[in-house]
Amino acid sequence: MTPGELDELAAGSSLVAFATDAVIADYSAHVPDDVWMVRTGRVALQASDGSVIDAIEPGGIFGYTPLLTGGGMEFVARATESSTLIRLPGNQVRGQFAKPAGLAFLASSAWSITPGNRPALVPVADSRPVGELVLGDPLLVSPDVSVREAVVRMTECHVSYALVSLPDGEYGIFTDRDLRTRVVAAGLSVDVPITRVMSAPARRVTADLTAETVLMHMLESGLRHMPVTTTRGEVVGVLEDADLLAASARQSFMLRRSIGLAADATELQATAQDVTHVASALFRSGTKASATSGILSIVIDSVVRRALELALAESPAETRPPASGFAWLTLGSIARREAMPSSDVDSALSWRDDLSQASGRLREVARRTHAILDGCGLPSDSNGAIAASSNFARSQSDWAVAAKGWLDDPLINRGLIMSSLLLDGRVVWGDATLHTVPAAYRRMRAEHPNALRLQLLDALSGRVRTRSLRDVVSRRGGTFDLKSHAVTPIVNLARWGGLAGDVATASTPARLKVAAASGALTERDASTLGEVFGMLQRLRMTHQVEQLSAGQIPGDVITMSELSPLNRSLLNDGLREIAAVQRRVGNFGMPAL
């Protein structure tokens, strides 16, 4: 803020004293039009069940999230000791959050809910390196110890794992779950060597990765413990899921395991009904929209895999295609790990060249898989981008030939559309090398510049809806499609920018970083698009979670008059920023064809 803005804010603010245990604001009842800063003392933000969401120390602020979302954050702010707070007028604070610095602050803000009686080290969506979050020395045991000795050490150190130092420099890991499943349930003696029942080599992460990234690794692999090492491979500690997860996020792990254990399609469909509800609980507990989308995408992946397994098992044994010879690709937002509760399931198949005679049977399996997914509340793509279609089911060589054709002439056979769909593809079943399309696009800037220019033309064709924008400003109502007219232009620009940097497949934020590094976008434009994308994803998630709570089908069309004043301002500025970047890229980023 400028000195003048600070003086104006100070003149409109006031000091308020609160006694111990006094309620400062009850956001479950209404949304006060104020933001609070703690000057002295301490304030606890408590959920409806009494659990502490966050503790605010002197200098910390709260109340901005309800202002941003227009409600939906059910907590009570209570002084835990005699405290003095500064009441900041909401009408003066709102405008600051619409500026780049305010957007950056909002994007980095998150809450944590303490899991049980164990202190949470970090919120679900923390962006700090995990090396900063490890507490205590890791428990290391030698490979010659028995299970009994290891469990005694685990009990003494109050941990649920033991790392085993192996002669080759790797590590094994033994956990409390291994004790239950590999020792007790298997009827083994606790005097067996630990090397007999450990997992080796243990999956691990380096200390420079963010907590959010590590959380995704753990959820995707179903692990509850993750060793953290230096870049040289030295162990600095072990993170447990409780260290990284809010209570609601742990439901994602349990749901994913229940999905994997579903015995038949009926059981899977019953279990999968909780998928969107778990995402809602995650977001309502304070998890960032980006992390909620990533977790939702991973859980959907697990539903798709189990549906495919069941569809294969239902096939007659004499006509069943070999499970090891094909790859199932998820396309679209789920593939980019940017799923929303409204996301449908786009898919494709790729198989080994020697299995072309089984193409019909594979498409039948795909058709049954999507029928199961429809019953899970995960509908098929309405435009027919599914693996049961011959356009989206080909051999690995046929996909490579098709990709070459799209590069040589993107306007033939819907080349631009098909390439965009397949470049977003991610293998969730089978051999990843069978996804042959991205390899053809990894030198697009040097080898196919005209095709790259057409990708940009396509990205620039999706203009934002300025007429709806005027509805926002004038409060005349109207509707706006957040996905089609705001998110999609950013996704398409990011895909082009990634291809300009020789990166074919990645998430939208990752592609924007590549675009900046390659010079396709300026650092400023890439950063701006990233911030606006994060804001739009939060608006989408907020809107869809509210729809689910009201028993409605989630979607991206919002009514302008129902947006909070701050959200109208954020959307207004965000759309202007997208349009400005499109103009700059169109004027300077695309040589004449």
Determine, yes or no, domain membership for 110: no
- Mind listing the pLDDT tens digit for each residue in 380-427? 988 899 999 999 999 999 999 999 999 998 888 788 899 999 999 999
Using CA atoms, how far residue 247 sits from 253, 526, 577, in Å, is 11, 34, 37
> Minimal CA–CA distance to 140: which of 132, 131, 149?
149
Domain boundary among 205, 223, 244: 244
Region 469-475 average pLDDT: 49
63 and 7, same structural domain? yes
Helix 247-261 to helix 275-284 angle (10° resolution) is 170
Determine, yes or no, domain membership for 113: no
Q: Give the domain extent around 377.
A: 247-440
Residues 6+ away with beta carbon under 8 Å from 483: 540, 556
Supply the pTM of this predicted model. Answer: 0.67
174 and 199, same structural domain? yes
Say whether pLDDT at 515 is over 80.
yes
Say whether pLDDT at 116 is over 60.
no
**How confident is the model at residue 67, as a pLDDT?**
63
**How confident is the model at residue 375, as a pLDDT?**
95
Region 122-143 average pLDDT: 72
199 and 260, same structural domain? no
CATH code, domain carrying 54: 2.60.120.10
Determine, yes or no, domain membership for 334: yes
Determine, yes or no, domain membership for 32: yes
Angle ∠(259,262,267) on CA atoms, nearest 5: 105
* First-residue to last-residue Cα distance in the chain: 45
CATH code, domain carrying 343: 3.30.460.10
Determine, yes or no, domain membership for 118: no
Residues 6+ away with beta carbon under 8 Å from 166: 143, 172, 200, 201
Cα 350–chain centre separation: 26
DSSP single-letter state for residue 158: T
465 and 427, same structural domain? no
- Mind listing the pLDDT tens digit for each residue in 181-234? 788 777 788 889 999 999 999 988 888 877 777 777 777 777 878 899 987 888
> Minimal CA–CA distance to 238: which of 127, 128, 124, 158?
158
Domain boundary among 210, 244, 278: 244
Going by pLDDT thresholds of 50, 70 and 90, the confidence category of residue 516 is very high
Determine, yes or no, domain membership for 122: no
537 and 510, same structural domain? yes
The pairing of beta strand 140-141 with beta strand 161-165: parallel
**What is the average pLDDT value for the chain, to the nearest integer?**
84
Say whether pLDDT at 125 is over 60.
no
Domain boundary among 244, 274, 295: 244
Residue 431 tokens, joined:
């051999």
425 and 290, same structural domain? yes
Determine, yes or no, domain membership for 239: yes
Determine, yes or no, domain membership for 123: no
370 and 293, same structural domain? yes
483 and 453, same structural domain? yes
Number of structural domains found in the chain: 4
416 and 285, same structural domain? yes
Neighbours of 416 (CB within 10 A): 18
533 and 387, same structural domain? no
434 and 317, same structural domain? yes
> Minimal CA–CA distance to 292: which of 305, 304, 303, 278?
278
433 and 284, same structural domain? yes
CATH code, domain carrying 161: 3.10.580.10
